[in-house]
Amino acid sequence: MKKTILLTGFAPFGGEQINPSWQAVQQLQGWQADDETEVQAIELPCIFGQSLEKLQQALQQFNPVLVIAVGQAGGRTAISLEKVAINYQDARIADNAGNQPLGEPVIAGAPTAYFSSLPLKAIVQDLRQQGIPAEISYSAGTFVCNHVFYGLMHTVATSPKVRAGFIHIPYLPAQAARLGGPASMTTELVVKALKQVMQLSLLQQPDILLAEGTLD
């Protein structure tokens, strides 16, 4: 039986008709990272609670070796590899079901934060070499993406062989055009980046040493 990479994208939110994360992720359904590993792609609702429940069901069903959750971060200029998931949610806007948690833990009593277990520095270096803008980000925000990222890392914390992480991506060009020109990236380029991320995440262990980080 083939091993599974679970890839998730999100439904549109915040008045948008489209979410670039699901546009890219759905194209990778069935993609084989190598002879024995195949992608299962699922769309998560942009709803606190329900998004995480759907992810937990998929984790149970597919027992993946690698999990990569992807979301839209309008205004980001590059493939943004998230380092930290925090146990805190504080929604500036309501989610798609009208929920707006204000300053709550994602999971009461759980650790303050988790780190991604993807080889982020190796990925950043590789994507840049492929001509794809990439960065490591130290905040996934406090909305549904961080909620899913935190819940994912909390769940796989007891399965050390499973690698998992979260990636934020910029707007699509069509969204950016309508909004007056923030940074954007095509689905084609995001798909190419995600393939690289999956292949490196299966191979590269541990991460490489590379001067990254931020000064402020």
Using CB under 6 A as the binding rule, whether residue 19 contacts ligand PCA is answered as: yes
Edge-to-edge, what's the strand order for the sheet holding 3-10?
Answer: 32-34, 37-44, 3-10, 66-72, 163-169, 79-82, 134-137
Judged by CB under 6 A, the chain residues 20 through 49 that form the site for ligand PCA are 21, 46
**Near ligand PCA by CB under 6 A, which window of 71-79, 120-128, 156-164, 200-208?**
71-79
Which DSSP symbol is given to 179?
A: T
Q: How far is CA 46 from its chain centroid? A: 13
The minimum distance between CB 31 and ligand PCA, in angstroms, equals: 21
Nearer to ligand PCA, 65 or 101 (CB): 101
d(CA 120, CA 55): 22
Contacts of 36 (CB under 8 A, 6+ apart): 2, 3
Torsion of CA 85, 90, 92, 94, to 10 degrees: 100
Amino acid at position 55, single letter: L
Contacts of 107 (CB under 8 A, 6+ apart): 87, 150, 151, 154
d(CA 183, CA 11): 20
Nearer to ligand PCA, 23 or 37 (CB): 23
Judged by CB under 6 A, the chain residues 74 through 103 that form the site for ligand PCA are none
Q: Binding ligand PCA by CB under 6 A: which of 58, 73, 185, 193?
A: 73
The minimum distance between CB 73 and ligand PCA, in angstroms, equals: 5
The minimum distance between CB 142 and ligand PCA, in angstroms, equals: 8
Q: Binding ligand PCA by CB under 6 A: which of 72, 80, 89, 201?
A: 72
Using CB under 6 A as the binding rule, whether residue 149 contacts ligand PCA is answered as: no
User: Longest C-alpha distance within the chain, in Å?
Assistant: 48
Q: Are 191 and 24 in contact (CB under 8 A)?
A: yes
Catalytic residue among 82, 135, 147, 188: 82
**Near ligand PCA by CB under 6 A, which window of 13-21, 59-67, 159-167, 193-201?**
13-21
Catalytic residue among 38, 46, 145, 147: 145
Residues belonging to the active site: 82, 145, 168
Residues that bind ligand PCA (CB under 6 A): 10, 13, 19, 21, 46, 71-73, 141, 143-145
